[in-house]
Structure 1
């Protein structure tokens, strides 16, 4: 049995056994999905019934993929599982634009953070994060932040200059990937103007100047290193 998230590239399923039962469980932001608790119960019940269960997710299951919750459910049921890591969109997206997340001259570290807090959770202190990012020269990579981008932008402006470079990358690493460079001060306006939607990542920090430079001075030839 394959339990498949919406963000899994359909081409992956071409490698599935022809006799495999494929169950699509959704898990796309803002869309109808199978409840997480039901997915976990299904993983446990089908495994105990003798099925070989494969859980397919986009990116890395342990970076905002709720893989940790699923592993906990399996452990509680006495089930051993193997995890194969993937490449998270926060890394894949910027790498596809030939831009690093860290750079000895521009960014001493990187923060992966969700823009969508758990219901009832106070969420991220964006003002404090902005000040820390400014002082420590950090790159911010925000997942699931499109719907809350206006609030995130306004809070980050309390600690980061409006001129701070930013890029929004939609459908990172897929053939449909597209992106728009901007600044923190123009972030929400750019998202609306370019009609960028989920799934997208928002990257904020000086490393984004590399994306802007690539746009201004594209390679003169197709030569590859």
Structure 2
């Protein structure tokens, strides 16, 4: 996790992409010195909330029902002979040239799916439940794509104005399920509910930006989000503050 080393300032267009596990690993260290602006006074309460959310994998009671209601899975894996993979002793003893079995996931030719889930949760909404509802809808889409062998990823979208630091908005895309990642029977880490998602937002300000979590990161709508994705990718949005900017 070395974005703060790569740039003396934020990257062009203020667009940041992360893999979820790498970002969470960096934030959970709670090191304000490994940030852009190095504010010395983070709020550790938010870090404790996020760490607890990452360590206690809460299972949504509706998860199994969502999976069962999806289509029956097709054959998704195929084995091929290769020069690397799982060693096959019988082939080696028989003098075969290729003695390894490589297992690859087989996808249908349909467009890949990117599910964009807004994680903009201001403090005034921490007692609301829309993040739990949003997660369940995401699960339905992911389970259906998985059963149809369609490549699918889930991206947490955060868009905020950096008050006192920058005049423009910062666009943050965090991949919390990539195309080849399995569906886990638990809600993804710190996006469990509104409170934990808000804690993540504050930890991002404290331990990545280093701007302090008080007043530095006002959530705002993301306009024309489709410009950040391939044209042939099917985009599904959960959150009223994400506008794809696509005119049918």
* TM bucket, shorter chain: under 0.3
Under a length normalisation based on structure 1, what TM-score does the superposition of the two structures give? 0.24
The structure that has the greater radius of gyration is 2
